Chains A and B, each alone.
Chain A
Amino acid sequence: MPASLAEIAADFLDLAPKDRLQLLLEFSQGLPDLPERYADAPESLEQVHECQSPLFLTVEVGEGMPRGAQPVSLFFSAPPEAPTTRGFAGILHEGLDGLSVDEVLATPEAAPMSFGLAEVVSPLRLRGMVAMLSRIKRQVALKSGAALA
């Protein structure tokens, strides 16, 4: 798992289960707004249907770097009345945004299970985060021309 994501996981696991919800809420509040180019063109985002509440995302892959080393930028959109979904997106944004294509593609599919959240939000709800990650990886692979591991 990328170090940045592992650090977030360690922060969650350091907390008592009840306090993990508070941290998730902070990630939900910290999710950046969409930049104008996407805010004005919501149809350019991909909907993650597996989430309970509507979540849309897209990725950008930078240019001018050797294949695999291009930086990845992540963009998410979810309404404020869906804080859990926003929190999942916030974790992935902080953990993966700015990493290289290779690093994002190497993130294990099961990474969302590493935050100790299953017991506080239920495994059913965590499926939304798993789906977000797999869609991010698929978009990164498509847009960078890399093969999905």
Chain B
Amino acid sequence: MTATDYAHPERLVSTQWLADQLAAGAAGAGTQIVVLESDEDVLLYETGHIPGALKLDWITDLNDPLTRDYIDAEQFAAVMSARGISRDTTVVLYGDKSNWWAAYALWVLSLFGHENAKLLDGGRAKWIAEGRELTTAIPEVAPATGEAAYPVVERDDAPIRAFKEDVLAHLGKPLVDVRSPGEYSGELLHMPDYPQEGAVRGGHIPGAKSVPWARATNADGTFKSRPELEAIYLAEQGLSPEDEVVAYCRIGERSSHTWFVLHHLLGFDKVRNYDGSWTEWGNAVRVPIEK
């Protein structure tokens, strides 16, 4: 395990820990520790992945194709069961871009109350940088069936997910805008290089603090230490672990990363991710913005 001074250190595992579990046959498809890769690029898994890891794509597996929402309880149970995951299975998630998308998948798992979900600290890049094994072999996995089948558990959005109406009611309390400085100031109507996810207005939600998500990571993709994170979010931004906080970005993925930092690493109990984020707020009628 990595640095134990985090609020919930059990939510992170190190590359060495995972390598040891894999070597011992204790992790991988069909065991009690299932490893899932979740990337921005949907083909990256196919180019090579951690041996025994299965793929979980944030768009095609977790989003409902017709409603801008996540999949429902039955669909989620099917996604998990197909990967041999039961309710008590430990799920270790990792991915590209400092676990940006893995954190998003972990947040969606949390909407369904899957408690035993962890991130591989440093993600795909650290695993590769350390010269560890990759494979293109896709593991055969027996779906979880019968007693082991993943139960149909209704999503409980309220504790960690904010909708536009919630954010309107929240105005005046702390908000963290995790987008780039240009998006925050309103100079850019979209994230650099992502114009397809633009908005008709630029700026930020009134009162939001600007803390780009990647400030929480080291160059090797791992999370910064607790004192370093406290220096940013507590000392510099004036947040306190008792605060009710809403984090947002453009579609809620980068802010899942910050949600993970505030909630699991710094111990904030009341953090919600606003997944509608700027693609909703920046386009919505009669909501205030600030530049």
Q: Which residues of A contact B (CB under 8 A)?
A: 21-22, 24-25, 28, 49-54, 80-85, 87, 119-122, 124-125, 127
Contacts and interface: CB of A to CB of B under 8 A. Distances in A.
Sorting the interface of chain B by its residue count into under 10, 10 to 19, 20 to 34 or 35 or more gives: 10 to 19
Nearest to A55: B193
A119 B42 CA distance: 12
B43 A25 contact: yes
Contacts of B156: none
30 contacts: A21-B43, A21-B46, A22-B46, A24-B43, A28-B43, A28-B47, A49-B193, A49-B194, A52-B40, A52-B193, A52-B194, A54-B193, A80-B47, A81-B41, A81-B44, A83-B41, A83-B43, A83-B46, A83-B47, A84-B42, A84-B44, A85-B41, A87-B43, A120-B42, A120-B60, A121-B42, A122-B42, A122-B60, A124-B196, A125-B42
B46 to A, nearest CB: 5
Interface of B: 40-44, 46-47, 59-60, 96, 193-196
B59 A124 contact: yes
Contacts of B44: 81, 83-84
Given A81-B44, A124-B196, 7 more contacts: A49-B194, A51-B193, A52-B41, A52-B193, A81-B41, A83-B41, A83-B47
B251 to A, nearest CB: 10
B195 A49 contact: yes
**A-B complex: 7 closest residue pairs judged by Cβ atoms:** A83-B43, A122-B59, A84-B43, A25-B46, A84-B41, A121-B42, A127-B196
B285 to A, nearest CB: 24
Nearest to B46: A25
Nearest to B97: A81
Contacts of B60: 119-122
Contacts of B96: 81
